[in-house]
Every structure is written in structure tokens, then in C-alpha cells.
Structure 1
Amino acid sequence: MKSAAIAALSVVGTVAVAGVGYGAYQAMTPSASGYAKVVNVKPVVTHSEEPRQECRQVTVQHQKPVKDDKQVAGSVIGAVIGGVVGHQFGGGHGKDAATAGGAIAGGIAGNRIQKNMQDKNTYTTTEEQCHTVMESKSHTQGYDVTYTFNGDQQTIHMDKRPGDRLRIEDGDVVMP
């Protein structure tokens, strides 16, 4: 019976020593579950240029259509008036020269007067004018999160911005 008691005590002692040893091991081995402290959050941002139409209303002045683009009417009317006025001067052959000179000068003047009138004959409209501008855009693609857990520092990419701590289960970050 003594040997049975010694055997029993040996088994109990071995189990106790093993239990103490396992407990000490657990105390020294970091847990694979718990909460990690977030120490840095860096947004991952991409930049792009996107075209955009920019339109505005603009007042535009147009030339009215011209029926007599050679100003023939102005030239003829000017020549007739110039000839009549020139005919009032001189005598004999001088009267004929004055009439011809008046007709030529009147024709030139009538042509220029009609051209100036046609150039000033305009109308105004409001039109939409558009052009393409490049617009800078920034898009947050996620976050590079640095955290510490059981004395180790690691970084992970997350789609959403985390809070001050992360849940860890079996050594892995649990995504919210």
C-alpha cells in the first residue's frame, strides 16, 4: 500500500508540476486574442484629372447679310451726285472735266460710305460657348493602419478608418 500511495503522490506531483509549468508558460507567452492599440492611420489617396465641360452665355455681335457686297449702289449714287456737283464748276471743256472728276470722286466716296454703313449693320445674339477644363480629384482608397499588439508593431491595409483599437482573434485583425 505504501508503494500505491507513493505512486499516487508521484502522479499528483507530476500533474502539479506540469500545471505550474503550463501556467508559467501561459503567463510568459503572449495571448493571440485581445485588443491592439492603433498608433498611426495614414489615408491612401489617389489623385486624378477628370475632364469637365464648362459653359457660359456670351453676347456675340454678327454682321447682317450684305446684298450688295461690291457697294455698286453706293458707287453709282455717289458718281451721279459727284457729277452733278462737278458740273456746277468751270466752263466749256473745264465743265466736262469737273463733271467727270466729280463723278469719279463721288463714286469712290459713295462706295466707301456704303461699305462703312454695311460694316456697322450688325445684330447681337446670346450664345452658349463651352470648353473643356481639367478638374483635379482626390479619392481615398483606404487606410494603412499601424498597430501594436503584445509588443509587436504591424501595419495592415483597411477599407474603413479604424478607431483607437483593433480586435485581434487568433493573431489576426478582425475587420469591422
Structure 2
Amino acid sequence: MDKSMMLGIGLGALGVTAGGAVATYSLVDFGPKYAEVLVAQPLVETISTPREVCKDVVVSHRSPVKDQHRIAGTVIGALAGGLLGNQVGGGSGKKVATVAGAVAGGYAGNKVQENMQASDTYNTTETRCTTVTDTSEKVVGYDVEYRLGDQVGRVRMDHNPGPRIPVKNGQLVLTGEQNPA
């Protein structure tokens, strides 16, 4: 073999080895592997959920009036008042007392029946429903402040990153589950 051929083979091998080393060097990431998390502030959303609440309540009703003009009370009161008035006085005074007693008794009987009818009630149980709103909170993400080298930055993430965020080729890796400590 010729010297020049040997020299060519040697230089070729050296070139391939050097090229491989340069290619390997450019693929290796020599920057930081993680960014330090300074603050991870949860973003909270309030959720309102309406629901119906029903309960049974006792309701008082006024009984229907059977004697709207209170005739029974008026008649009974007039009879009782007339009898009492008849017991007072004598002669024509007795007639006046009887009439006055009947009028007063009729009025009193009418009012007594009115009061009895007003207080005549019955109770029923009714179901009453109202809508109430339950509220709850749900974490929907995190506002994260981090330090990468000498730089401080902020980013919004869909999960809590833990104490650090992975870095690949100088960029934050923001997807995935929580990172190990």
C-alpha cells in the first residue's frame, strides 16, 4: 500500500471520529435539567349546583261558613235576651225590657256566632319545595412561578408541578404528571 493511501485512510478515520464527536456533542443538552418552582398558586373555580328541597308543612284553613248571615246565633241570642228582659220590671216596663233584651241578645248572639265561625279552622299537610344552591370549589389549574438559571418566569399549568419542572433543550416540559422530587 502506498503512503498516500495510508495517509488518506488515517485522515478519513480521524474525520469520521471527529464528526461523530461533534454530532454527539450537539445532541447532548448541557443546560439545566430542571427549573426550580418558586410558587404554584392553584386556580379555583366555584361550581354552583341547584337542587330542590321539599318538606311537609301543616297549613291551617278556615272552615267554610255554613250560616253566612249568622241567623242561628241571632235567633238564639234574641230568644235568650228576650227571656232575660222579661224577668225585669213590671207592666209596660216589662215589655220594653223584653224587647230591649231581645235586641241586645240578638246582637250578642250574632257576634258570638261570628267569632266561632272565624276560629273554626282545620289543618292539612302540604308539601312545600324550594330551590337551594350548593357551592363547591374545584382546582382547574396552577399559576406557576419558576426559576431557570438566572431567569424568573411564569406559566399556567394543568397540574401541580411539584418542586421542579423538567427542562429539555432549554424549554420547559409542561405536560405530564407531577414530577418526582
Worse-superposed segment, 147-156 or 92-101? 147-156
Task: State the alpha-carbon separation in 1 of the partners of residues 50 and 102 from structure 2.
Answer: 63
Task: State the alpha-carbon separation in 2 of the partners of residues 108 and 90 from structure 1.
Answer: 22
> What is the number of equivalent residue pairs in this alignment?
165
1:114 equivalent in alignment to 2:113: yes
Q: What SS does structure 1 have at the residue aligned with 2:109?
A: helix
The CA deviation at 1:159 is: 1.7
Question: How is 1:95-134 mapped onto 2 (pairs within 5 angstroms)?
Answer: 95-133=94-132
| Structure 1 residues 152 and 129, CA gap change in structure 2 (3 angstroms) | same
Q: What SS does structure 2 have at the residue aligned with 1:90?
A: coil
Q: Which ranges of structure 2 fall in alignment gaps of 5 or more residues?
A: 177-181
Q: CA RMSD, aligned part only?
A: 3.6
Question: How is 1:79-90 mapped onto 2 (pairs within 5 angstroms)?
Answer: 79-90=78-89
Task: State the alpha-carbon separation in 2 of the partners of residues 26 and 150 from structure 1.
Answer: 20
Q: For residues 88-128 of structure 1, give each alpha carbon's deviation from its aligned partner in whole angstroms, at most 9, with x where no partner exists.
A: 22223212211111111111111122122222222222333
Cross-structure match for 1:30: 31
Aligned sequence identity (%): 42
Task: State the alpha-carbon separation in 1 of the partners of residues 174 and 160 from structure 2.
Answer: 14
Cross-structure match for 1:65: 64
Task: State the alpha-carbon separation in 2 of the partners of residues 69 and 48 from structure 1.
Answer: 57
**TM-score (structure 1 length as normaliser):** 0.71
The CA deviation at 1:175 is: 0.4
**TM-score (structure 2 length as normaliser):** 0.69
Q: Kindly indicate whether the alpha-carbon contact (under 8 Å) linking 2:48 and 2:133 is maintained by their aligned counterparts in 1.
A: yes
The CA deviation at 1:164 is: 2.2
Task: State the alpha-carbon separation in 1 of the partners of residues 50 and 153 from structure 2.
Answer: 40
Q: Kindly indicate whether the alpha-carbon contact (under 8 Å) linking 2:35 and 2:172 is maintained by their aligned counterparts in 1.
A: no
Q: Which ranges of structure 1 fall in alignment gaps of 5 or more residues?
A: none
Question: How is 1:96-175 mapped onto 2 (pairs within 5 angstroms)?
Answer: 96-133=95-132, 135-170=134-169, 171-175=171-175
